[in-house]
Chains A and B, each alone.
Chain A
């Protein structure tokens, strides 16, 4: 799954196990067919009309290109690698947008490499927010730009959050100044199936495609609990109860399994040169089928531990995997199960009790999960908190250390870098400081777990995208021109 490329996305969704070309060139030429006693009617291998074959869809490909960069060595910083290491007085070398070397003070710096004196500073991987609505619920929060919830049906798996992203959302600039280099933009949680998420590089861009993270898989936003049943129960529709939620999930997966089977049958027949009618392409079922094929990652909003356990059983019934529970405020109650199932939990550190299903939220949620060996992610769901995920991780780490767990910074940094990268299917590309990974880096004024820490420079693919001390690298949204403050916020 990790080698999956965006441009091949639509192909992968429907044609796993078949080669992409099988549908267009592999038909009608089986030698065995002609030799049969009763010859099979010869079928012409005609591709489906444009748009009817999800496997052949061009989609909305990434046009992202890194900003200009030059080979650079950061020398003398304390480095949190997000592989479990803290390197004091370390060196990171970056070239061609990638990390080329990482190590202690003796690390060789190649010739023609710019040297940044980072003494007294800290370096971490770029922060990754696995739960963001930037662009889809942008600032200003007016109804004309409230594009995060297609709250018209409990199943809107057919919508893609990328089609709601407004790239001029000033929140992207604020998040970058907080060190955020990668974001998963999700649809809201009004529906059982909210639609596809999209993963963005946090660079200023005129278009959504210009931010789209090359090669990142899609996610499917699902929501259990109070929101869907409140929204639809309030309209006199199903679901209006928790059991209605589960029935809605299962019905959709039955439809998706049936749709997947029909397309598989169709492609198998075409491959054998038999006559076959293509099923009608369905955007909603395309996405659900992509989950069943293991190519779209399930990002499941689910607060309560008992509901998480039910969601795990649904996933077993239909043979898909839940990648991460979001707002997983009660995950600490079932840490061992989540560790065994290899399901990440994304949580805030300190929000609690704002609705019934969040009543049991505790600061130590992340720490207890960490202790149980489960995957921990600290997320924001908030354009303010996303700017300080480092502090939110610090609160979560401190809650554990208050219990004597001795959680190091080298460990806790993973909660906002390597772990969300893994849960977004991009862990082989970014999220840690290792040779070969993208040079997505933050240079902090001091220990990033301090309330006083500030991101001084933020690099995406080796390119400087934000500099606290250089106005030339403080991009402003079109929206903020000519307005009070001109987009300056610090």
Chain B
């Protein structure tokens, strides 16, 4: 976690170089550990990049920098459960999109190689209290997210490989996980953490046009991966039957069929969710559901299968024929059934900071507050296998911590201080610099001089 502090100072002279991890005590704070009950007024101590202590009666250690929270709220850093942050800069500029691939690769596409630690959108996300993100590939030609009629122009898919490249591949590729510490040249915490696949309309498009084809092809691919894993030597000698996927794609699917790596299944309609659950049971693989607008219809089945869900709590429109049953209390109903729910911000419009408000919206529609907080912290950490280090405030965990001016799920609050690995992060971003330039008083010269 602290591997790169020295490097950071060297690499980023142009940015505000992060300080070394000092010992910091945040006092007079409402502390929301997420893993346990809130501490109405207490102190949290960050030391050597980790959480050293937290509680009501904690005295700041000698020599610690003391920050008086004045009643502000301390939470774990927020985690984006599934985004394109660092892999896509401007969704409408194809050259800046590395979050999907063309038909050359399928499951093997590795988004970890797309991560740009200098992305100008990182500062924006961090300013919204986001300290980590799962970075997940999208299918080219299948759209990046829900709101396709953005700015009411004619919609054009800008993911790589979309233009004239034919049908998208069956699998989107492999997901990564990044932390957003300023000045680090390597943000990737983990790669090849899941393989993405779509069912329903997008999946049908990738499989030649119909739902009936997509499950058959997915099952066939998994069977091929098993055969490939059993006898790679035979494959190398050309002594196996013909496989439907390339060596690279099969290699990427081996950990999936071995149950080590989940499939991230993008799916919407209740019947397609049932198909996903059955696929997982039949193939003995792990899955994560993303989307799941009609998840509430099959909530007990999802809970019984122990499958977590990543969703957008704003989805309440029949925007397509596979989201007819969308409703605002989807998160609440899934949670009540016992499903682990993570809540996404907007994948589009660089609006990841919407995720905490989406959690608030879910709370307004029946999700218990504690589950709302967990949906943007501990739940995504668990889903992505990071919960041993981040996602909650516990002694010994990495000090990814945010101090908020008020309720972190509320519109009128903002992140006052953000710590990653115990280091206070710069609060500026390209957006705040633009703001400050034009908020500054006129000095008689063009703004370019400000």
Could you tell me which A residues sit within 8 Å of B by CB distance? Answer: 133, 137, 139-142, 148-149, 151, 170-171, 174, 186, 188-190, 223, 226-227, 230-231, 301, 327, 332-333, 348, 350-356, 358-364, 368, 371, 381-384, 387-388, 391, 394-395, 397-399, 401-403, 449-454, 479-480, 483-485, 488-490
Interface residue? B280 (CB, 8 A): no
Hey, which chain A residues are within 8 Å of B149, CB to CB? 133, 137, 141, 148, 381-382
Q: Which of A360, A381, A388, A490 contacts B434 (CB 8 A)?
A: A360
> Are A398 and B326 closer than 8 Å at their CB atoms?
no
> Most chain-B Cβ atoms within 10 A of its Cβ — which of A348, A356, A363?
A363
A449 to B406, alpha carbons, bound, how many Å?
14
**Known A186-B152, A350-B351, A368-B435: A452·B364 in contact at CB below 8 Å:** yes
A454 to B320, alpha carbons, bound, how many Å?
26
Give the B interface residue count (CB, 8 A).
Answer: 61
Interface residue? B353 (CB, 8 A): yes
> Are B349 and A139 closer than 8 Å at their CB atoms?
no
> Most chain-A Cβ atoms within 10 A of its Cβ — which of B147, B411, B414, B439?
B411
> Are A148 and B152 closer than 8 Å at their CB atoms?
yes
Tell me the smallest distance from the CB of A36 to a CB of chain B, in Å.
58
> Are B92 and A484 closer than 8 Å at their CB atoms?
no
> Are A483 and B360 closer than 8 Å at their CB atoms?
no
> Are B152 and A189 closer than 8 Å at their CB atoms?
yes
A454 to B363, alpha carbons, bound, how many Å?
12
**Known A368-B435, A402-B414: A485·B90 in contact at CB below 8 Å:** no
Interface residue? B22 (CB, 8 A): no
A488 to B296, alpha carbons, bound, how many Å?
13
**Known A351-B349, A355-B91, A356-B92: A230·B319 in contact at CB below 8 Å:** no
Q: Who on chain B is nearest to A487 by CB?
A: B318
Hey, which chain B residues are within 8 Å of A348, CB to CB? 349
A391 to B359, alpha carbons, bound, how many Å?
13
Tell me the smallest distance from the CB of B362 to a CB of chain A, in Å.
10
Interface residue? B329 (CB, 8 A): yes
Q: Who on chain A is nearest to B407 by CB?
A: A451
Could you tell me which B residues sit within 8 Å of A by CB distance? Answer: 89-93, 120-121, 124, 146-154, 156, 270, 294, 297, 314-321, 323-329, 348-351, 353-354, 357, 360-361, 363-365, 409-414, 431-432, 434-435, 438-439, 447
> Are B153 and A354 closer than 8 Å at their CB atoms?
no
Hey, which chain A residues are within 8 Å of B152, CB to CB? 133, 137, 148-149, 186, 188-189, 301, 381
A452 to B120, alpha carbons, bound, how many Å?
31
- Listed A/B pairs (8) with beta-carbon separation below 8 Å: A139-B317, A174-B316, A189-B152, A353-B90, A359-B90, A362-B435, A454-B364, A480-B324
> Are B327 and A490 closer than 8 Å at their CB atoms?
yes
Tell me the smallest distance from the CB of A141 to a CB of chain B, in Å.
5
Tell me the smallest distance from the CB of B8 to a CB of chain A, in Å.
25
A360 to B351, alpha carbons, bound, how many Å?
14
